[in-house]
Structure 1
């Protein structure tokens, strides 16, 4: 066990985590040259297309240092704020972390946030400055930033270029010498922490775990503590680029187990595996429940596909533990799910994965956050979507979630960021200079304002030079109203939104204009209205398609034409009473892109 090292790589987006992982695998000959490709651990099509890591990936490396053989378990983590739950799970399975900082960018918001997560888990941190071969590298400046941030000595900081491989041998040496070996008792009863799982259509559910005490052999009867279910270990092994079966996985190792479980509900990330014959008395602690930030409804385009969508959601949740969902029905869209996501990018990724991996075409409703409404009788109602909003006459007050946003940028963009954040009802809490060219701004803001397009706007206002991170703080009283969209007087519940009253008029007007472009014209006139309660705050009208009924009259008395027009008018009136308006899927998506 003294020759095992468990570590992960943490950094901001695009600081070179996956490229460094490639070099570590290459230098230790874990992967043959034939299998080598850029970002080899990013095995999802979406990850390759977007150039980001979405899932944490574990892989075992064999390394010889000063004649001794070492086993290094590496976990490559995502950098985007929406996937911070993946990072927290990876940290729970490690004793050390490589903190990677881009020499051209310096320390950014997500670097600090991931660092605090690692310190909270008592990990040994090895600071590495990456991309030192780039023209714009500011090595000394970034060194000072790191020393100020974590209080290490200048000689502790390693310099490397993951692209060219410079400095990678020193990183391997530091991993072996600085990161402590895992602690644990090999003779104690089995205690293993589940940190991930994946569904395989042939083998069932493959569970990834880290053994803290004891060992697990092929053929053992294991028990999952939280569900109390027991299973036979059909296959156990370690994680190489593919699964590598072994007769036994010991204390301190990261491995996998296949038990033939088919039901996704039976495997929970953060659960403990023990032996049924000799169970360990306690669960592994230290996994907090995931707190979804953004809620949206996901509905199948054909209501008949609902059962199939339910199976797909179960399988997807196995692979992405931060996705939460429950059943929901909508008048306009039928049966579907109310899903909780960690952010807008997370929501977009889930939708893409449903379409690509499971061939599910889905409609997503307007994303929103959860509010708490207090009635005049003192009841507390959690409002996750507009349909759950109680009658305005019964509401005493509504509280909305607030977050603390940390933005790190260059001094020349402070004005733009201030304008953006204050326009989003933000309160400036702190402004401090980390160095002469790095400013940290801390705001308290309502989560509602961030959900839609804040991240994109921040990037465009600062030409990509701002990094952004946030975490929830509390709930505060707010003037929230429910805005309904009416088509010819009928509410379309899937387009309803909960919005701050000061923004409602503007949002309602934009939404009506967008719907006017997207809804197909009918034989009758369509009135699109945005209303709060009984008060209409915006209206657009789509005029009817008309047939020229007077074309056959080529002269003669006006009364003949009028008679035909009156007859047409009556027909349109009757049609309007029975005609219903079809809302295309683009209309639901349009709400997400209102400011484009």
Structure 2
């Protein structure tokens, strides 16, 4: 086997907000990609508007860093992956492109659920790991304890006893990505690494991550791991070349998912230099390239030699665990702000999403204008809906539900591993909240700093709507992270939302006079002047039952003077729900109307009479 010593392919994996994208920024700066006086945004790899707004990475992206080592110049292809488990499909695709990983762990928070998830995937593929303890300069860092916890995580995830010794022999680098510094010697808690740049980290990557290997003279094999689009070239397929060489203008064999083989021409070939894709005449084993000219190519397929079309294994990812229904907007206000409102346009957009997102499934339902969309979690599905909203779609989204499985004749449901960090005074209320959701406490650790960490196993449906209630009860101080763990037998009925809805009984504009009276009944979601319709939810009732209310009521004016003049009343500001909060708020008989200009919660059956008939039928049954 031959190797390419001038190339390394590495992915950066970590829990969300542990500093992956910031570390890539520092690598780009120190490799000379930017001028000293160049104005560059922070987290330059997060190019989507949603990524910048939410502060998370949603799509895996790759960049190339040129580094001059003691043995000569080396190109580092670095893949920045999402940390949130909802986008785990992106992580699994990224691991198909690389030969090693950097595992980032926060020096204060330590390994969290998504750390376990991404490390499990890397160990399953037997990829070498470089542990980077990041943010060592945090005042609350506890480096030695975090390293011990990481070793425990490795031991917990390694099932094969023969693999323990090799996998546990990983190098440790202590870094501050924001400061652009790294060291191989442990720093004091809260102190900066002794080196002034990232050279120790980059040299460790070169020693630990193997160079791409290949067989001399072997026929072409290139694996499609991601898709992109160019306004000039059309669909781009991002490929990792495993064997052979790929040339611009060459005719290759396209090995499709269904087993068929078709001859196609590579019209353009691009390689990554820093943040840009530049044209190239050819690429060899180990290179990560983008090709154009095959408009229907999808993820997991293989480009091979015409005379020896040997496909690589198709990429498989974990199955979805959460689903929502998405359909056309059927409210009285439909078509007022969106340009894409028909069932055909919605279905075409959902089908297009499944091409580039391997962890999304779209299934037909009994109704021709409604589809079931399955994904990894609420955030992933909410991001899809938000992107569609910004593209001009008007849609109706149902309450998130869990995807069940039948195992040995019994219904099983997904169970999540939940890690919660809260101040000591809120431990009781959090325990009570999760107890109602049939959670099992695995571990409780008091760090001695006034904060307690709780590890739970919770049915996934118990977490739908949990985050909002959790933040309310902990006054916004608590932190919660969760990741899919396994399937377990159905846990029985769980407590639903404790309070009912305030439902508008007519169409019209909300008045301040009506709001003054309704705010005593509960929390309002609308403010004066908002257009409402019958069946639209205007607030949360303080009691358990739903209440139909007149949100458009006006004060009748007469020429009779009152003995008591009108008194000034203060109107409580309306609670504006984000898309994620609106989806969490929904009950089974409610849905969310999503348009470019508004997010409204409504009843499935808008008519009060129809809802009464449904309740009567339910009581009979």
Matched, 1:166 2:181: yes
Change (3 A) 1:246 1:425: same
- 1:367 aligned residue: 400
Q: What is the CA distance between 1:462 and its match in structure 2?
A: 8.6
Residue 362 of structure 1, CA deviation? 2.4
Q: What residue is the counterpart of 1:390 in the other structure?
A: none
2:171 maps to 1:156: yes
Which residue of the partner structure matches residue 257 of structure 2? 226
* CA deviation profile, 1:56-113 (whole Å, cap 9, x unmatched): 1111222110141212110001111211221122122212111112223233222222
**Partner of 1:52 in structure 2?**
56
Is 1:296 aligned to 2:316, yes or no?
no
> Which of 457, 465, 470 is 2:483 aligned to?
470
Pick aligned residue for 1:195 from 225, 232, 235: 225
> Are residues 1:409 and 2:397 paired?
no
Aligned residue number for residue 567 of structure 1 = none
Residue range with higher mean Cα deviation, 400-409 or 191-200: 400-409
TM-score by structure 2 length?
0.70
CA shift, 1:547, in A, is 12
Deviations 1:162-199 (CA, angstroms, capped at 9, x unpaired) = 11211211111111111111222252222222211023
1:248 aligns with 2:305: no
Contact 2:405–2:412 (Cα < 8 Å) also in 1: yes
State how 1:299-338 maps to structure 2 within 5 Å.
299-300=328-329, 301-302=334-335, 305-328=342-365, 330=367, 335-338=369-372
What pairs up with 1:87-486 in 2 under 5 angstroms? 87-150=91-154, 156-167=171-182, 168-222=198-252, 223-227=254-258, 228=260, 229-240=262-273, 241-261=275-295, 266-280=296-310, 282-284=311-313, 287-288=316-317, 290-300=319-329, 301-302=334-335, 305-328=342-365, 330=367, 335-356=369-390, 358-371=391-404, 399=411, 401-407=413-419, 409=421, 412=424, 414-428=427-441, 430-431=442-443, 433=445, 441-454=454-467, 457=470, 461=474, 464-477=477-490
Paired residue secondary structure (2:214): coil
User: What residue in structure 2 maps to residue 5 of structure 1?
Assistant: 8
Kept in 1, the 8 Å contact 2:103–2:130? The answer is yes
Q: Quote the offset at 1:543 in angstroms.
A: 6.2
Q: Check the 8 A contact 1:404/1:444 in 2, yes or no.
A: yes
| Alignment length (residue pairs) | 496
Match 1:540 to one of 526, 547, 550: 547
The residue that corresponds to 1:70 in the other structure is 74
Task: Give the structure with the higher percent helix.
Answer: 1
Q: Is structure 2 residue 25 aligned with structure 1 residue 22?
A: yes
Moved more, 45-54 or 402-411: 402-411
Give the Cα separation in 2 of the matches to 1:546 and 1:109. 50
Give the secondary-structure state (helix, strand or coil) at the position aligned to 2:369: strand
Is the 1:209–1:254 contact (alpha carbons within 8 Å) kept by the matching residues of 2? Answer: yes
Counterpart Cα distance in 1 of 2:551 and 2:199: 72
Q: Distance in 2 between matches of 1:455 and 1:193?
A: 42
Question: Cα 1:145–1:446, aligned 2, differ >3 Å: closer, same or farther?
Answer: closer
- Change in CA separation of 1:209 and 1:539 when aligned onto 2, cut-off 3 Å: same
Aligned to 1:572: none
Contact 2:226–2:238 (Cα < 8 Å) also in 1? yes
1:41 corresponds in structure 2 to: 45
1:125-158 Cα distance to aligned partner (Å, 9 max, x none):
1111222233333333333333444479999321
Name 1:496's counterpart in structure 2.
none
2: CA distance, partners of 1:78 / 1:584: 28
| Gaps in structure 1 of 5+ consecutive residues | 381-397, 480-499, 531-536, 552-582
**Which consecutive residues of structure 2, in runs of 5 or more, have no partner in the other structure?**
156-166, 183-197, 511-532, 538-543, 559-591, 605-621
Report SS of the residue matched to 2:222. Answer: strand
Offset of residue 400 of structure 1: 5.0
1:359–1:411 Cα change, 3 Å: closer
Counterparts of 2:536 and 2:76 in 1: how far apart (Å)?
A: 61
Q: After the TM superposition, which of the residue ranges 290-299 and 46-55 deviates more from structure 2?
A: 290-299
Root-mean-square deviation over aligned CA pairs: 3.9
> Aligned pair 1:514/2:502, yes or no?
yes
CA contact (8 A) 2:418 2:458 kept: no
How far, CA to CA, are the matches of 2:341 and 2:118 in structure 1? 43
The answer to whether the 8 A contact 1:399-1:476 is kept is yes
Gap change, CA 1:514 and 1:224, over 3 Å in 2: farther
Do 1:62 and 1:70's aligned partners in 2 also have CA atoms closer than 8 Å? Answer: yes
CA distance change for structure 1 residues 443 and 163 in 2, over 3 Å: closer, same or farther? closer
1:420-442 Cα distance to aligned partner (Å, 9 max, x none): 221112233x3265977797655
8 A contact 2:327–2:346 mirrored in 1: no
Deviates more, 1:295-304 or 1:209-218: 295-304
Task: Judge conservation of contact 2:8–2:212 (CA < 8 Å) in 1.
Answer: yes
Question: In structure 1, how many angstroms separate the alpha carbons of the residues matched to 2:355 and 2:140?
Answer: 42
Distance verdict in 2 for CA 1:590–1:446, change over 3 Å: farther
Distance 2:469 2:463 in 1: 10
Give 1 or 2 for the bigger CA radius of gyration.
Answer: 1
SS in 2 for 1:363: strand
Distance 1:249 1:459 in 2: 54
Distance 2:294 2:168 in 1: 50
Q: Which residue of 2 aligns with 1:489?
A: none
What residue is the counterpart of 2:517 in the other structure?
none
Asked whether the 8 Å contact 1:132–1:161 carries over to 2, the reply is yes
CA distance in 1, matches of 2:469, 2:366: 32
